[in-house]
Amino acid sequence: MNEPINAPKPHFFNHTALKKTLDIICGKWRLYIIYQIGTEARRYGELRRMIPEVSEKVLIQELKALVELGVIEKKSYNEVPPRVEYSLTAKTLHIFPHLLELTSIGEAFLNP
């Protein structure tokens, strides 16, 4: 019997899905942006005013990335001055409660 007695029995899990999760929620601003859009359509300038700490460049960059990921969608109206609205996709609205629940993880580690 050469079976090692205490050999590691690692957890197996879906790497691809986990990576996708991290893509969606990690980064300094992603979750804030998603939370602020919430259930309404928000104009770019509106989001800037709601999250004034983020730089313009990064906000646009993150909005683009979230569109790419299928988390939000962008609608441009052909007006001048421009009007662009961002809203959560159906998929995101579906898991939105999960996203709001994320704070509970941190809460568990706040008070000694």
Partner DNA sequence: CTTATTACTAACCTTTTGGTTAGTTAACTT
Partner DNA sequence: AAGTTAACTAACCAAAAGGTTAGTAATAAG
DSSP category for residue 53 = T
Coil/strand/helix, residue 89: coil
85 closest CA partner among 34, 49, 45 = 45
Give the list of residues 6+ apart from residue 35 with CB closer than 8 angstroms, or none: 99, 100
| Token reading at 40 | 């309404």
**Is residue 68 within the footprint of its own copies (CB under 8 A)?**
no
| Token reading at 5 | 């007695």
**Is residue 22 within the footprint of its own copies (CB under 8 A)?**
yes
Q: Beta partners for 42?
A: 86
Cβ proximity to DNA: between 64 and 94 the closer is 64
Count of residues interacting with its own copies (CB under 8 A): 47
Q: Which does 67 bind (CB under 5 to 8 A by kind): DNA, its own copies, none?
A: none
Binding site for its own copies (CB under 8 A): 8-11, 13-14, 16-27, 31-32, 35-36, 38, 40, 42, 46, 49-50, 69-71, 91, 94-95, 98-110
Chain positions contacting DNA, by CB under 7 A: 27-29, 43-46, 53-58, 60, 62-64, 74, 76, 80-84
